[in-house]
Amino acid sequence: MPVLPANAFDFLSHSPEQSRRLGMRLGAYLLPGDVICLQGELGAGKTTFVQGLASGWGSLDAVSSPTFVLVNLYRRSDGGQLFHFDTYRVESAPEAEELDLDSMLTNGPLVIEWPERMLGIIPAERLWIKLEYVDDDRRELTFLPTGQRYIDLLAEFRKSSFGTD
Ligand SMILES: Nc1ncnc2c1ncn2[C@@H]1O[C@H](COP(=O)(O)OP(=O)(O)OP(=O)(O)O)[C@@H](O)[C@H]1O
Ligand SMILES: [Mg+2]
């Protein structure tokens, strides 16, 4: 087993429901400007995790995996917005100027599936989550924060979810 970097941790999810619950707990902490990257193969559980994340954040809209749309917008009753990217079906990596991530980030958090495909324009400070298939029902989730905001966010999330520091 490779040693995890400081502040990182991993978690073994035993079901889609558990992954959603975990996402819900994290979603409750998300603020405008936050960037969450979800890396994992097809069926690793990225969208399942986003369903929890959006619901914990307070989304009024259901999470979907758009076939041709690059980004989905979810709304909250207070006017808050959550942006959900899925670059998998996009032909070529989107350009920074086409997307204007900065103005999105002033309005809400950003959640990105297949972040590898737009790495050049994703802020260096972010919470990277790696999802790996273990068997039919289990997925390994590894949380890797970069920057103080995400180290703090993860510490709070861990405390509320597992009661540990
Ligand atoms: N512990 C688990 N956590 C999350 N999903 C699980 C788990 N066990 C089984 N699954 C199943 O794995 C599938 C994950 O699909 P999901 O759409 O979330 O993956 P994805 O990573 O978004 O894939 P894609 O790259 O196609 O968008 C679902 O069918 C889900 O029910
Ligand atoms: Mg997906």
Please, which residues have CB within 8 angstroms of residue 16's CB and are 6 or more apart in sequence? 45, 48
Q: What are phi and psi of 131, to 5 degrees?
A: -115, 130
Give 3-state DSSP helix, strand, coil % of the chain, rounded to 5.
35, 30, 40
CA 147 to chain centre: 16
Domains of the chain: 30-159 (3.40.50.300)
Give, for ligand 1, the residue of 18, 21, 47 to mutate: max count of ligand atoms closer than 8 Å to Cβ.
47
pTM of the model: 0.94
Tokens in use for 47? 């969208």
How many C-beta neighbours within 10 Å does residue 90 have? Answer: 16
What's the pLDDT score for residue 67? Answer: 62
Task: Inform me whether the pLDDT recorded for 99 exceeds 90.
Answer: no
Cβ pair 78, 105 in contact under 8 A: no
**Atom 6 of ligand 1: nearest residue by CA position:** 16
Q: Comparing 43 with 163, which gets the higher pLDDT?
A: 43
How high does pLDDT run on average in the chain?
91
For ligand 2, the distance from its centroid to the CA atom of residue 36, given in whole angstroms, is: 14
Please write the tens of the pLDDT for every residue from 107-146.
Answer: 999 999 999 988 989 999 999 999 999 999 999 999 999 9
For ligand 2, the distance from its centroid to the CA atom of residue 138, given in whole angstroms, is: 16
What's the pLDDT score for residue 96? Answer: 64
Ligand 1 in reach of 20 Cβ (< 6 A): no
- Compute the average pLDDT of residues 140-155: 97
Tokens in use for 51? 């369903």
**Atom 9 of ligand 1: nearest residue by CA position:** 137
Tokens in use for 70? 């690059």
Quick one: which of 11, 7, 6 has its CA closest to 132? 11
